[in-house]
Amino acid sequence: MYGLGPNYRFAFNKKTTGEGWIFLDADSAFNWLTGYGFSMPPAFSRYEDLRDSWPGDYFVPMAPSFLVNVPKGNYTVALTFTGLEKGAALTVKAGMGRIALDRIPAAPGGMVKESFALHVEDGQLKLAWTGKVQVNTVEITHAPLLPTLFLAGDSTVTDQPSGGYPYTGWGQAIGKFLNASVAVDNHARSGKSSKSFITEGRLNRVWKLIKPGDYIAVQFAHNDEKDNEGGTLAYSTYKEYLSQYIAGARERGAIPVLVSAMQRRFFEEDGTVRDTHGDYIPAMEELARELGVPFINLAAKSKTLLEKLGPEASKELFMWIAPGKYAGLPDGKEDNTHFSELGAIAIAALVAEGIRELDIPVLASSLR
């Protein structure tokens, strides 16, 4: 619907024949002359704003990344694969560790076809996959008219660099729940508030890229609550800054969605989750009602999830990492705000649940 036909058709076994197919194997190294092939990074990437992590970096052990030089924009990717043993499943990550397909089962001898959409921001489409499967073909199609879901938020949403893996923002996991009908362009960055995202020119960058029919999901509060230059007041400046996202999207024919901050992992003695956000959640909800904007109450949804799991089991969702478990975190970590990959998937599932409940046009029908 949105593309003009495959721009690249890669075959990874010699059974696939015909005009237009490019045959490669797992040893086909990336070549700047052809503009495609596999590569391993020299090291993990540690700096978020460099945006230089490869998807294979987000597997343990690290996997080769399949790199294809393409123009910036939206693409659909279709893969066929076959299981090599009973219980085989395929996981595919794209770009900065964004989950595109997660443990898709493939029976031995059978052929499975899956597709997804992705946004390329730097002129190179990047994929990596693992599982006891044989990937047979990869078809890449430029889809410039594909709707885009832009994300504006903080460290709980952003694409975290591979050096901190399994540290993951839910923006890296939301693709697991989307089909090939919408691409995600994640502009969230650590430490940003509704104010600083604007004053640093980050929202202006979104406005340069957004088109009619696109979406922007906005989640701020963690850093608005702080008493610093980026801080805001819940019922005054916080609502005023959020209103700029809403008005700007509507002026450009795009659809804004407000997403409240999720709860931190702080439990009271009675097992209930302590609300650390004060007036910011009700202020966002009030603004959503006033301006008629879809509102996903991630605070309420995450509270229910955490209380169901309890203080111990909920550690699995957060960055509670034992020393030596991950190469990038030799000293381990204990963090009750930020998510492990498992936690980011759980939070992204709640966002997807909210989209379905609100029946947001196009987005709801794009859920898997």
What are the C-alpha distances in Å from 85 to residues 105, 113, 132, 182, 260?
Answer: 11, 17, 7, 32, 43
Evaluated on CA atoms 225, 226, 231, 235, the torsion sign reads positive
d(CA 108, CA 169): 34
CA angle 261–262–267, rounded 5-degree value: 135
Does the active-site annotation cover 45? Answer: no
According to DSSP, the β-strands at 98-105 and 65-69 are unpaired
Residue with tokens 């700029």: 244
- 85, 290, 316, 334: the catalytic one is 334
Does the active-site annotation cover 142? Answer: no
Neighbour-count burial of 115, counting CB atoms closer than 10 A to its CB (0-12 exposed, 13-18 middle, 19+ buried): middle
Amino acid at 74: N
What are the C-alpha distances in Å from 332 to residues 260, 272, 321, 322, 323?
Answer: 29, 27, 5, 5, 4
d(CA 158, CA 171): 6
Coil vs helix vs strand at 56: helix
What are the C-alpha distances in Å from 48 to residues 44, 52, 116, 211, 312?
Answer: 12, 8, 24, 26, 30
According to DSSP, the β-strands at 124-130 and 89-94 are antiparallel
- 155, 190, 193, 314: the catalytic one is 155
Does the active-site annotation cover 155? Answer: yes
Look at residues 140, 150, 219, 157 and name the one whose alpha carbon lies nearest to residue 183. 150
- 196, 225, 338, 341: the catalytic one is 338
d(CA 224, CA 237): 10
Catalytic residues: 155, 334, 338
